[in-house]
Amino acid sequence: MPRVKKEEQVEKKPRKKAKPIQTVKGMKDILPPEQFIWDYILHNSRKICQDFGFGRIETPILENTDLFKRGVGQATDIVEKEMFSFETQGGDNVTMRPEGTAGVVRSYIENGMSRWSQPVRLYYEGSMFRYDKPQQGRFREFHQFGAEVFGEEGSAIDAQIIYLAWKIFQKLGLRDVSIQINSIGCPTCRNKYKKLLTDYYDMKINKLCVDCKRRLEKNPMRLLDCKEEKCLQVAAGAPQIIDNLCDDCNTHFKSVLEFLDELEIPYVLNPSLVRGLDYYTRTVFEIWADGDEGESRQAALGGGGRYDGLVELLGGEPTPAVGFSFGVERVADKVMKMGLDLEPKVVKDVFLVQLGDMARKKVMKIFDKLVDNNILVGESLGKGSIKSQLRTANKVRAKLALIVGQKEAIDGTVIIRDMDSGMQETVILENIVEDVRRMLKG
């Protein structure tokens, strides 16, 4: 026998394999073992959103490019260099959404949700696309789960959305995460502050790193979280936004913090927290994974904030809004590192073993019958020997094995084998469901 086999192999060798096609750079398959974690994350998140009165919304992946240019901000990195944009055959300029909020806002306006009873609470989940350089926890297609509240100005809603985010992370069992919070004020006080900040930095310009010199021009708020030693020193003496908020913004922010205290949500006041999208006003926050030991410290799992100007900017009535989202991949990573016991344990009630064609046909019918009766059934119809089939039965931890051979197929009987004790009995095919139920109980 072995000789024949070898000859066959020699003949196979010359066959040339076709070039395999890989995923597009930065894209990734999510396979069954991970799906288990994803389901866990998404189910819990959905549940909590529903409890909080949020309704699910799905918006298209493809939107007009202008939506993001206007919404996210022309000068942001996302719009400047990270969008998957293209022209359709019909000449429309479209973009695969780089984030979720803009699309939801568009939908709010387009569907006249301002006439619904306010506030309108929506949650969503789906793929986002950014043309970034891929790294761990950073893909070109990634998934976000997010929630938005429209039409409520009060600070209670800011607190509530943070509470919601916190609740989700708690529910998922993510312990060592922290909420970083800041207020970046309204356009008025922010612009005043920016001026103050640039003036301060202008005086110290020769003490800054190259990147920061660039930031000073382009995005002064970013100066504050440069990691260069010398810049950190300069930043330490810089004016802080929270000391320069206008009265309204200040009151609002204080009130948010009071709510959080009341809800006993721990947070870290982070004056240098700035978000990468233009539309934020007042409250901004991020959820960080406090990586213990050697983890990249700046892993933001999610974030959000208030964006009171966005609806109007995109052509709707002036409508205040708050939202948050988290990256499913990053949360999944974190969940995995927690070592939570989420392994999919395959446990079958019964496993079907067949010998011969006639038996195979019988077994397919039995399979159908058992499944209809909510019994977990496994089979390996492709396999031949009883030995290998029982091995498989053992691997999937089946409680019972149902064996149908030539003889049984003719007699209309089935052998039921208890996989733990090894006890067997022969029963009549007609009553198989009852017998299986009986054996499972015993």
Partner RNA sequence: GUGGCUAUAGUGUAGCGGUAACACUAGAGGUUGUGGUCCUCUCAUCCAGGGUUCGAAUCCCUGUAGUCACCCCA
Interface with RNA (CB under 7 A), residue from 130, 167, 282, 306: 130
Contact yes or no for 49/125 (Cβ under 8 A) = no
Shortest distance (Å) from residue 1 CB to RNA: 9
* Residue 125 engages RNA in binding (rule: CB under 7 A): no
Shortest distance (Å) from residue 297 CB to RNA: 8
Shortest distance (Å) from residue 157 CB to RNA: 19
* Residue 211 engages RNA in binding (rule: CB under 7 A): yes
* Residue 64 engages RNA in binding (rule: CB under 7 A): no
* Residue 69 engages RNA in binding (rule: CB under 7 A): no
Distance from C-alpha of 14 to C-alpha of 387, rounded to nearest angstrom: 35
Nearer to RNA, 204 or 254 (CB): 204
Q: Which stretch binds RNA (CB under 7 A): 53-61, 73-81, 178-186, 308-316?
A: 73-81
* Residue 136 engages RNA in binding (rule: CB under 7 A): yes
Distance from C-alpha of 155 to C-alpha of 123, rounded to nearest angstrom: 20
Burial string for 66-89 (b: 16+ CB within 10 Å, else e) reads ebbbbbbbeebbbbeebbbbeeee
Distances (CA, A) of 69 to 66, 75, 271, 423: 5, 9, 27, 70
Which is nearest to 360 in space by CA: 374, 388, 379?
Answer: 379
Nearer to RNA, 154 or 271 (CB): 271
Q: Where are the beta strands (DSSP E) in 135-264?
A: 141-150, 177-183
Identity of the amino acid at 147: A
Q: Which stretch binds RNA (CB under 7 A): 22-30, 42-50, 336-344, 360-368?
A: 22-30
Shortest distance (Å) from residue 343 CB to RNA: 14
* Residue 337 engages RNA in binding (rule: CB under 7 A): no
Task: List the interface residues with RNA, window 339-358 (CB under 7 A).
Answer: 355
* Residue 134 engages RNA in binding (rule: CB under 7 A): yes
Shortest distance (Å) from residue 118 CB to RNA: 25
Shortest distance (Å) from residue 364 CB to RNA: 17
Q: Which stretch binds RNA (CB under 7 A): 21-29, 156-164, 184-192, 241-249?
A: 21-29
Distance from C-alpha of 141 to C-alpha of 131, rounded to nearest angstrom: 9
Shortest distance (Å) from residue 276 CB to RNA: 2
* Residue 26 engages RNA in binding (rule: CB under 7 A): yes
C-alpha of 216 from chain center: 34
Identity of the amino acid at 117: S
Distance from C-alpha of 358 to C-alpha of 404, rounded to nearest angstrom: 9
Interface with RNA (CB under 7 A), residue from 59, 144, 160, 182: 144
Shortest distance (Å) from residue 95 CB to RNA: 15
Contact yes or no for 82/130 (Cβ under 8 A) = yes
Shortest distance (Å) from residue 365 CB to RNA: 17
Which is nearest to 418 in space by CA: 354, 370, 350, 355?
Answer: 350
Residue 41: other Cβ atoms inside 10 A: 23
Interface with RNA (CB under 7 A), residue from 415, 433, 437, 440: 415
Which is nearest to 179 in space by CA: 327, 330, 333, 305?
Answer: 305
Interface with RNA (CB under 7 A), residue from 103, 119, 220, 303: 303
Please enumerate in sequence order all residues whose Cβ is within 8 A of that of 16, keeping only pairs 6 or more positions apart, or say none. Answer: none
Shortest distance (Å) from residue 77 CB to RNA: 4
Interface with RNA (CB under 7 A), residue from 122, 159, 226, 310: 226
Task: List the interface residues with RNA, window 85-104 (CB under 7 A).
Answer: 99
Distance from C-alpha of 146 to C-alpha of 150, rounded to nearest angstrom: 13
Give the x/- contact pattern for RNA in 370-409, rule: CB under 7 A.
-------------xxxxxx-xxxxxx-----x-x-xxxx-
Count of residues near RNA by CB under 7 A: 71
* Residue 139 engages RNA in binding (rule: CB under 7 A): yes
Which is nearest to 235 in space by CA: 253, 212, 261?
Answer: 212
* Residue 424 engages RNA in binding (rule: CB under 7 A): yes
Task: List the interface residues with RNA, window 273-302 (CB under 7 A).
Answer: 274-277, 286, 296, 298-302
H-type helices in 15-130, by residue range?
A: 32-51, 65-71, 77-81, 101-110
* Residue 43 engages RNA in binding (rule: CB under 7 A): no
Shortest distance (Å) from residue 429 CB to RNA: 13
HSE-CB for 72 with a 13 A CA cutoff: 28
Task: List the interface residues with RNA, window 229-258 (CB under 7 A).
Answer: none
* Residue 416 engages RNA in binding (rule: CB under 7 A): no
Sign of the four-CA dihedral 183, 110, 328, 88: negative
Shortest distance (Å) from residue 366 CB to RNA: 14
